[in-house]
Amino acid sequence: MIEELSNGDSFIKRLDPRIKIVVVFLFSVVVAVSNQLPVLMLALALSLLIVLSAGVPTKEFLRRLIPVNMLIIFLWLFLPFTFAGKAAFFIGPLAVTHEGVLYATRITIKSNAMMLMLIALVASTPIFTMGHAMHELGIPKKIVHLFFFTYRYIHVMHREYARLLNSMKIRGFRPKTSLHTYKTFAYMVGMLLVRSFDRAQRVHNAMLCRGFKGNLYSLSKFSIKRRDVVSLVCMLTAIILLGVMEWKKTI
Amino acid sequence: MHISEGILSPAVLIGGAAITAAGVAVGMRGLDQKEIPSIGILSAAFFVASLIHVPAGPVSVHLILNGLVGLILGWKAFPAILVGLALQALLFQFGGITTLGVNTLNMALPAVVCYCLFGWGTRSGTGRYAFIFAAFASGFCAVLMAGILVGLSLYLTGEAFLPAAKLVVAAHLPVMFVEGILTAACALFLRKVRPEILEVAHAPD
């Protein structure tokens, strides 16, 4: 179900994960508040550059952009007609406004730029490393632990779900719009919860037996090297430049 | 329904993130280190449940189950949903970094509200019909509120989003009934099979 993208080797992959998280976060914030078309185009170009240099295959990141663009396409059905402004042309009785098209274009570029940056981060950092880095960056320990447990058990639960689904199919279950179908699914979810609840108790006891004291340790130690400092400075400059361009134009 | 990056206005994003931070803080306060494995595993189970598609007439809808999350976890629904959505953003690119706050709020606030309104009904010692009513109402209202909150997030970003926002709320209407029935049936099942799961939210600290 869930395949991680972290394969291959690239310059970005070897960077300190803390630096990557900080850069992606700042980039996302600046792009989220930007509204100038040229700034957004530059941001998109930058994110495309980063995602390509992270070694993500084109087909793969295009596939991962699909969920984002579903909502964008949905908004394209509305925004050009509902945004107040000068009518550019008409489709039947509906006026397409110039401003509406521009606005929808901006949203499209924005979303894709931010997503490409996130894909570059995900593709170059294993999820567990990301958790440890988040802890180092000051996210409370309890949230990071919750993150680890949830991530670890998504796979286990999904296997359990596939097993239950198979056994339902073997018994001739065919989903329809009926009370029977809903009840069956409800019982399946209930069984999933019961099994996961039991497993949680067992796992916790096993952890206590092995001396768990509320700390999770990482095998890899983070250290800031010269290439980390250089990339941080480069990326921060780029982000600040984007911010300044946005700010200068709006005044 | 997740709102993608780059659509909402900064004011909505900041507001959503601030309320979510407060909700997570409340949820974490009552959270003991001991409970983290069970909440993590429950939140993984809900993550997987959200991948289940059930037929509703001609289309199929995926389960949200935030009403059930609220009934089981209470205020701890905030951290659980936050982590679930963060993982969905990282693994599937549903939602994103800047929209994490708003998306968590839209799912977790209805869960907590339903817990406050209907939580009494699913504790031990309630009659069967009151129990079924409370569980159904919880599943029903949680999706209704989530739909309204998603619509509101869009509408507050700009007037031009109003028709899209209305359609989003309308799309949640059939899902409400499916979720209500499923939540009621699932809660009944849990009450028969493992009633202590329904007591997690109000376990003594």
User: Which domains, ranges and CATH numbers included, belong to chain B?
Assistant: 10-199 (1.10.1760.20)
Residue of A nearest to B4 (CA): A68
Whole-model pTM: value is 0.91
Residue with tokens 């309308």: B170
Give residue A189's identity as a one-letter amino acid code: V
Instruction: Determine contact: B171 vs chain A, CB below 8 A.
Output: no
Q: Identify the pLDDT of residue B124.
A: 67
Whether residue A218 contacts residue A125, with contact meaning beta carbons closer than 8 Å, is answered with no
Q: Do B48 and A157 touch (CB under 8 A)?
A: yes
* Rounded-to-integer distance, Cα B186 and Cα A158, Å: 18
Instruction: Determine contact: B133 vs chain A, CB below 8 A.
Output: no
CA distance readout (Å), B120 to A194, B70, B139? 21, 12, 15
Q: Do B38 and A204 touch (CB under 8 A)?
A: yes
Which residues of chain A lie closer than 8 angstroms to B43, CB-CB?
Answer: 146, 150
Tens-binned pLDDT, residue by residue, of chain B (205 aa): 678 888 889 999 999 999 999 999 999 887 888 788 878 888 888 888 888 888 887 777 888 889 999 998 989 999 999 999 999 888 888 888 899 999 999 999 999 999 999 888 877 677 888 899 999 999 999 999 999 999 999 999 888 888 888 988 888 888 899 999 999 999 999 999 988 888 766 554 4
Q: Identify the pLDDT of residue A46.
A: 93
* Rounded-to-integer distance, Cα B17 and Cα A8, Å: 35
Give residue A95's identity as a one-letter amino acid code: A
- pLDDT tens for each residue of B19-40: 999 999 999 887 888 788 878 8
ipTM of the complex: 0.89
Q: Identify the pLDDT of residue A1.
A: 45
Q: Identify the pLDDT of residue B101.
A: 93
Q: Identify the pLDDT of residue B204.
A: 43
Q: Do A149 and B163 touch (CB under 8 A)?
A: no
Whether residue A118 contacts residue B96, with contact meaning beta carbons closer than 8 Å, is answered with yes
CB pairs under 8 A between A and B: 242
Count how many Cα atoms sit within 13 Å of the Cα of residue A197 in the half-sphere of its side chain. 17
Q: Do A200 and B37 touch (CB under 8 A)?
A: yes
* Rounded-to-integer distance, Cα A30 and Cα A245, Å: 11
Where chain A has pLDDT below 70, the residues are 1-9, 220, 250-251
Q: Do B7 and A71 touch (CB under 8 A)?
A: yes
